């Protein structure tokens, strides 16, 4: 079995190296990764000489083809914006890139090492596109700016400032911490909102079942006894009859309201009015306000 010498970083981010038995360069990288190491270079040792492994013959892929692959992948995952494309993955990428650039490794080589360690195909295509743009002379900030689904204006501005000041590794590390904190706050907000939303859905379901099935049986029983129904019971009976006879109209009205809401919220004036109304809601407004303050504070501290 061939012997490979590897160089990289351990789980604590410190420089590390060693030798490992493996069937191929990919196998060597996989074994090192399982041990918690981040590999930047693998060299095969043969007959006392070191031979670079893993060099591919042939011309590199053309820019248009690579960009087309990225666009196709983004099209297959329609709606995969920054919010649902995992922020943790982008944060991990920036942290790895910061560690490698701090060690003096060129950005293109650092990206190559990250690509070889990435198992997610979408992220691999993204990193390859970044590497190709940088190889053709574009700054890292411009390469990131071409992918707004993953890197917002704040990230691009921070990287551009880091490149101009020569402190790119520090900026990338701060950016990684910032995105991780963003993800943590977002997860806490979602967790806080999950229970009330579930209880609201269960409550509406129970009310619908009562009005649709229980109330009709009670009203029929009271009517058979010749008892005059009180006004609240008559109102419930009317609501029950309407729900049973026109349930499809309620569903249509709900869908129509959602469409109208999306149309209004897509405009700047409509979004401003809706946000103003939401801020005045007792519990929801306070939660939105605190989240906005937390995001502003994190951004200001990072800058």
Domain interval for residue 149: 82-182
> Is 247 part of any domain?
no
Q: In this structure, are 171 and 103 located in the same domain?
A: yes
| Window from 64-78, 126-140, 200-214 with minimum mean pLDDT | 64-78
Judge whether 145 and 139 are in contact, CB under 8 Å. no
Q: Which of 182, 206, 226 is the last residue of a domain?
A: 182
* SS3 letters across the chain: CCEEEEEEECCCCCEEEEEEECCCHHHHHHHHHHCCCEEEEEEEEECCEEEECCCCCCCCCCHHHHHHHHHHHHHHCCCCCCCCCCHHHHHHHHHHHHHHHHCCCCHHHHHHHHHHHCCCHHHHHHHHHHHHHHHCCCCHHHHHHCCCCCCCHHHHHHHHHHHHHCCHHHHHHHHHHHHHHHHHHHHHHHHHHHHHHHHHHHHHHHHHHHHHHHHHHHHHHHHHCCCCCCHHHHHHHHHHHHHHHCHHHHHHHHHHHHHHHHHHHHCHHHHHHHHHHHHHCHHHHHHHHHHHHHHHHHHHHHC
Is there a domain that residue 191 lies in? Answer: no
User: Does residue 205 form part of some domain?
Assistant: no
Predicted model pTM: 0.54
Q: What is the structure's pLDDT at 258?
A: 92
Residues 22, 114: one domain?
Answer: no
Task: In whole angstroms, give the CA distance from residue 38 to residue 98.
Answer: 13
Q: Do 89 and 171 share a domain, yes or no? A: yes
pLDDT of residue 252: 93
Sorted by sequence, the CB contacts under 8 Å of residue 173 that are 6+ apart come out as: 94, 95, 98, 99, 102
Cα 199 from chain centroid (whole Å) = 26
User: Are the CB atoms for 109 and 97 separated by under 8 Å?
Assistant: no
Q: Which of 51-55, 138-142, 236-240 has the lowest mean pLDDT?
A: 51-55
Asked whether residue 176 is assigned to any structural domain, the reply reads yes
Whether 41 and 98 map to the same domain: the answer is no
* Residue 13 belongs to a domain: yes
Q: 35 with 101, same domain?
A: no
- State pLDDT tens for residues 180-221: 887 887 888 788 888 889 999 999 899 888 888 888 888 788
Nearest CA to 89 out of 132, 123, 128 is that of 123
Which of 143, 161, 182 corresponds to the end of one domain? Answer: 182
Are 129 and 147 spatial neighbours (Cβ–Cβ below 8 Å)?
Answer: yes
Task: Give the angle subtended at the CA of 302 by the CAs of 301 and 303, to the nearest 5°.
Answer: 90
- pLDDT band, residue 292 (cuts 50/70/90): confident
Question: Domain boundary at 182, 198, 229, which?
Answer: 182
Count up the domains in the chain and report the number: 3
The fraction of the chain above a pLDDT of 90, given in percent, is 9
105 found inside a domain? yes
Same domain, 92 and 171: yes
């Amino acid at each position: 079995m061939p012997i490979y010498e590897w160089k990289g970083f351990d789980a604590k981010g410190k420089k590390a190296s060693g030798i490992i038995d493996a069937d191929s360069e990919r196998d060597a990288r996989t074994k090192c990764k399982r041990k918690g190491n981040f590999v930047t270079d693998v060299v095969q040792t043969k007959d006392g000489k070191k031979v670079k492994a893993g060099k591919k013959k042939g011309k590199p892929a053309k820019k248009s083809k690579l960009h087309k692959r990225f666009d196709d992948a983004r099209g297959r995952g329609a709606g995969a914006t920054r919010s649902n494309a995992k922020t943790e993955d982008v944060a991990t990428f920036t942290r790895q890139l910061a560690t490698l650039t701090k060690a003096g490794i060129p950005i293109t080589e650092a990206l190559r090492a990250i690509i070889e360690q990435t198992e997610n195909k979408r992220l691999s295509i993204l990193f390859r596109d970044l590497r190709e743009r940088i190889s053709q002379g574009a700054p890292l900030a411009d390469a990131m700016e071409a992918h707004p689904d993953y890197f917002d204006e704040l990230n691009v501005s921070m990287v551009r400032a880091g490149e101009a000041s020569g402190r790119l590794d520090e900026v990338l590390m701060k950016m990684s911490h910032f995105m991780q904190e963003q993800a943590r706050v977002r997860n806490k907000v979602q967790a806080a909102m999950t229970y009330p939303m579930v209880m609201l859905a269960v409550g509406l379901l129970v009310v619908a079942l009562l009005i649709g099935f229980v109330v009709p049986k009670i009203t029929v029983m009271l009517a058979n006894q010749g008892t005059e129904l009180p006004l609240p019971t008559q109102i419930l009976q009317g609501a029950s009859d309407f729900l049973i006879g026109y349930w499809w109209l309620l569903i249509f009205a709900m869908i129509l309201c959602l469409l109208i809401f999306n149309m209004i919220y897509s405009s700047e004036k409509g979004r401003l009015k809706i946000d103003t109304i939401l801020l005045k809601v007792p519990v929801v407004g306070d939660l939105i306000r605190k989240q906005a303050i937390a995001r502003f504070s994190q951004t200001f501290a990072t800058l």
